Structures are given as structure tokens and as C-alpha cells.
Amino acid sequence: MQSIKGLDAFGGNILVVINDPVSETNFSMRHAIARSCLVVLAAAMLAVGSLAQVRADLVAGWDFQTTTNGGTATAVSPNTPKQYTANLGSGGLFLNGQNGSSDWFVPATGSTARELDAFGGTAINAGMGFSRTTSGAAALALINQTANGKSAVFRFSMAGFQELMVSYASQRTNSGFTSQAWSYSTDGVNWTDHQAVSNLPLAFAIQPLGIIRGLDGATDAYLRLTLTGASSGTGNNRLDNIQFNATATAVPEPTSMLLAGTVALGGVVLRLRRKW
């Protein structure tokens, strides 16, 4: 609106108000645009929040059953494998003396003095695509006090990934291994201690490890599991549904995305203001 002052015929002041439809139109347009900007910003914040919840990707997984992706299924002694290709994702598990692992004993016939076998498993910690069959040869069994101090080694790639998160289902018998010690390496020779898992349950339960950052971006990544504390020839630990999850380094941080979106939105508003 515009107002104009003047004098009437008797010398008094008058105020003339003139409607400005253009100004009113501009106000309405500004209001509508501001409201739209707030809606866009809110949507961006929700999207960023959703992104933060789905950042982890499965790098490698072992359910010891699924073979459709080229993975290795376990079997009862004396046919228990000493090397396992990941059932999901990409990687290998070695119990044959390669890649820094120990050579676990599997007899040529029968099961006498065996250190590896296959028993019933669990659906606990089974991720998407993992088998949920729990009967038969469904979990890897590490057996015998002769295997105290022996190690199993996982080899995989962390290229393009960071912040490795490991979880698995495990249980022990009364005379089975009492400690599962984890360490990592980028060459299979020099190892860094990471975490020891003790107080292992007598029934399957999830065992999560703390985040491992020492393998971020490593083309060759190794994770070693060393067992101790077994007190009989039949004492064992079972392992099932092992998951290696990590964050893809190509995914922008949510805070960075939100900052970029806010700056861009501010630029649009500033340009619109200059036009008016």
C-alpha cells in the first residue's frame, strides 16, 4: 500500500491511501515460498535421519549352510571343511594353516580326536538372506582341549568401507573354550589385539564386538579368533551367523548433507528476495 498527504479545501490535512495490488501479490508469493522452503527443509532432515539408520552394509557373512552364492556348507566329521568361503558377501574363513590360521585337526575317518565338527545351529543373529535352519550340520563346532591356543582367521576386504562391526552367535559346553580372543591385521603377520570375549553362555546368544577402525579402507583385512580354556576332548564352542558389517565410505555424513542442503536453500531464498 501507499499513503499520500495533502491539504483539503479548508487547509486541513488529508491522508489518501492507495491499494497496491502488486505489493499484496508479492507478499502472498513470499509467504507461499517461505512455507514451501520449510517443508523442503523438514523433508531433507527426515531423509538424512533415515540415511543414518541404514548406513551399515554386510561385507561378509557365514551361516555355514547357504551355497547359492558360492559359499561353503559345513559337514560332520570327518568331512568338516577347514576352509569356508563366505555364504553371503565376500570373504574366507581359514582353519588350515593359511593366512595366519592354525591347522585344526580333522581325522581321515570317524571323529576321534577331532578339533572341528558340525552341530545344530540357531536363528539368532541371522541377517537377511541367512539360513534359519537349525537342525543337522548348521553351525561350526570348534572342539577339544588339544586346540587350546589355536586360531581361526577371516580374510576379507574393507576397500571402500570403514568402522567394521562384528557380531555372531555362540555357545559353549561346560568343558568348552572359555575365552575367544579377537585381533586384526592388514598383512596376516602383524596382529593388533582387539577384544577378548569371556563368560560365554551355555545356550546360543549374540556376541557383539566393539567397532574396529584399524582396518578402515584396507584392501586386505584379517580378523583372527584364538580360543583357550577347554578342559576335555569333547568340550566345544559353536559359531553361527557371523556378520561383518561396515559403513560405506562413499556415503556422505548426514551432518554434511544437512549443511549443504541448508546453504543451498538459503541461496534460493536470498535470490528471491533480491528480485523483490
pLDDT for 95 equals 98
Residues 34 and 87 in one domain: no
Answer yes or no: do 30 and 83 share one domain: no
Asked if residue 65 is part of any domain, the answer here is: yes
The pLDDT value recorded for residue 42 is: 47
Q: Are residues 44 and 66 in the same domain?
A: no
Backbone φ and ψ of 35, nearest 5°: -65, -40
Q: What is the pLDDT of residue 255?
A: 54
- Summarised one tens digit per residue, pLDDT across range 5-30 is 554 444 555 444 445 554 555 545 55
Contact status, residue 170 vs residue 239, Cβ threshold 8 Å: yes
Residues 205 and 174 in one domain: yes
Section 205-219 average pLDDT: 98
Looking only at the bridges linking them, the beta strands covering 192-197 and 205-208 are unpaired
Number of separate domains in the chain: 2
Sequence-distant (≥ 6) Cβ neighbours of residue 251 within 8 angstroms: 51, 55
Is residue 39 one of the residues assigned to a domain? Answer: yes
CATH of the domain at 223: 2.60.120.260
pLDDT of 33 above 70: no
Rounded to an integer, the average pLDDT of 180-188 is 98
3-state secondary structure the chain: CEEEEEECCCCCEEEEEECCHHHHHHHHHHHHHHHHHHHHHHHHHHHHHHHHHCCEEEEEEECCCCCCCCCCCCCCCCCCCCEEECCEECCEEECECCCCCCECCCCCCCCCCCCEEEECCCCCCCCCCCCCCCCCCCEEEEECHHHCCCEEEEEECCCCEEEEEEEEEEEECCCCCCEEEEEEECCCCCCEEEEEECCCCCCCEEEECCCECCCCCCCCEEEEEEEECCCCCCCEEEEEEEEEEEEECCCCCHHHHHHHHHHHHHHHHHHHHHHC
pLDDT in tens, 229-259: 999 999 999 999 999 999 999 755 555 555 5
Asked if residue 266 is part of any domain, the answer here is: no
Residues 202 and 241 in one domain: yes
Q: Which amino acid is at 227?
A: L
- Tell me how long the chain is: 276
Please state at what angle helix 21-53 crosses helix 254-275, rounded to 10 degrees: 170
Q: What is the rounded average pLDDT for all residues in the chain?
A: 84
Distance CA 276, CA 274 (A): 5
**273 within a domain of the structure (yes/no):** no
Confirm whether 41 is domain-assigned.
yes
30, 76: one domain: no
Percentage of the chain surpassing pLDDT 90?
Answer: 70
38 lies in the same domain as 69: no
Segment 78-127, tens digit of pLDDT? 999 999 999 999 999 999 999 999 999 999 999 999 999 999 999 999 99
Mean pLDDT of 203-211: 98
Which residue range is the domain that position 14 belongs to?
2-53
Whether 115 and 226 map to the same domain: the answer is yes
Taking the C-alpha atoms of residue 92 and residue 37, their distance in angstroms, rounded to an integer, is 50
Residue 232 is placed in which grid cell? 576335555
The predicted pLDDT at position 56 comes to: 85
265 located within any domain = no
Are 32 and 83 in the same domain?
A: no
Q: What is the pLDDT of residue 39?
A: 44
User: Is 100 or 3 the better-scoring residue by pLDDT?
Assistant: 100
pLDDT over threshold 80, residue 72: yes
- Residue 123 and residue 11 share a domain: no
Residues 42 and 132 in one domain: no
- Tens of pLDDT, residue by residue over 139-163, are 999 999 999 999 999 999 999 999 9
**Res 67 pLDDT > 90:** yes
Q: Which residues have CB under 8 Å from 36's CB, separation 6+?
A: none
Statement: residue 51 has pLDDT above 50: no
Domain membership flag for residue 267: no
Q: What is the pLDDT of residue 177?
A: 98
Residues 45 and 95 in one domain: no
Which among 53, 70, 95 is the end of a domain? Answer: 53
Q: From the CB of residue 34, how many other CB atoms can be counted at a distance below 10 Å? A: 12
Residue 182 lies in a domain: yes
Band (37; pLDDT cuts 50, 70, 90): very low
